[in-house]
Amino acid sequence: MINHINNKTLQLNSYIFFLVLFISISIITVNSEPIQIFAQTVSIENDNKTGQEYVNNTLFISGTATEKAKSDLVTISIGVETTNRTATDAVAANSLKMNNIVSALKNNGVSDDEISTSQFSINPNYNFSQSGNILETTGFTVTNALKIQSMNLSNISLWIDSAVNAGANTIGGIDFQVSEKRLDNLRNMLIEDAIANARQKANIASSAVGLDIIGIKSMIIDTDGFNPPQPFANEFVQRSAFSGAPTTPIIPGEQEISVSAHIAYLLR
């Protein structure tokens, strides 16, 4: 009887032991595996989300800056044409007038490093038949042109008038410019302004959609935008020079310089 009771007790204890062991294993399995999978999933989602923002959230903005600058450099073309029966006589007459022109310009403030020869040519003149054939040579025309390039804009009228009085009969034109050194300084300043203008626009746009600027993906700076003042036409200058007016009216213009900054911003 006692042995039967002990066997029953042993069986019951064994049953309870295996039941407790099974429950413990189940609890460990249920509680541990989902935690590992959840943590990994969150990590993958965060990585994908961050990568998606860097790739897709891009804002393209163009900023501009413009400045008007007064011309500080002038280029003037002054010349003389002479025609004679022989090339020798045409050259001699032209040389006499051109020497007088150069002397007059230097006497009125043009320095040696501001003046140079820009053109010299000798061309024959012909008589043609009705069919277009050359009948004879009637003479020769000699053209000699000077280029004056100076930062002294106050003596332009004086130089033109003195050259015409000395024998000049062609004015190739007057071209006002902004000197390269000053142009570089202005462009550098405008680059900063154009970038600031682009950033201001980007701040407004990103704020409107609830995103923040976190960096720049790319940037292109365009410094080629400028509108130079129109040079005086040859006919206008010649008419002014020979009109009998006390001085030839010459008015330097302004040059509009613009810079653009094209920027791709990264948003998050």
78: domain CATH number? 3.30.70.2970
Q: Are residues 85 and 171 in the same domain?
A: yes
- Residue 233 maps to a domain: no
Residue 188 and residue 110 share a domain: no
> Which pLDDT score, from 0 to 100, does residue 255 have?
87
In a domain, 114, yes or no: yes
pLDDT above 50: residue 43: no
Pick the range with the lowest mean pLDDT from 112-116, 174-178, 251-255: 251-255
Give the CA count within 13 Å in the CB-facing half-sphere of 268.
10
Nearest alpha carbon to residue 218 among 188, 262, 260: 262
Mean pLDDT of 144-164: 95
Prediction pTM value: 0.61
Residues 164 and 77 in one domain: yes
Check residues 91 and 22 and name the one with the higher pLDDT: 91
d(CA 212, CA 208): 10
Residue 17 maps to a domain: no
Q: How many domains, the chain?
A: 2
Mean pLDDT over each residue of the chain, to the nearest integer: 79
Domain that holds residue 223: 58-69+183-227+259-267
Residue 116 sits in the same domain as residue 157: yes
143 contacts 120 by C-beta, under 8 angstroms: yes
Contact 76, 163 (CB under 8 A): no
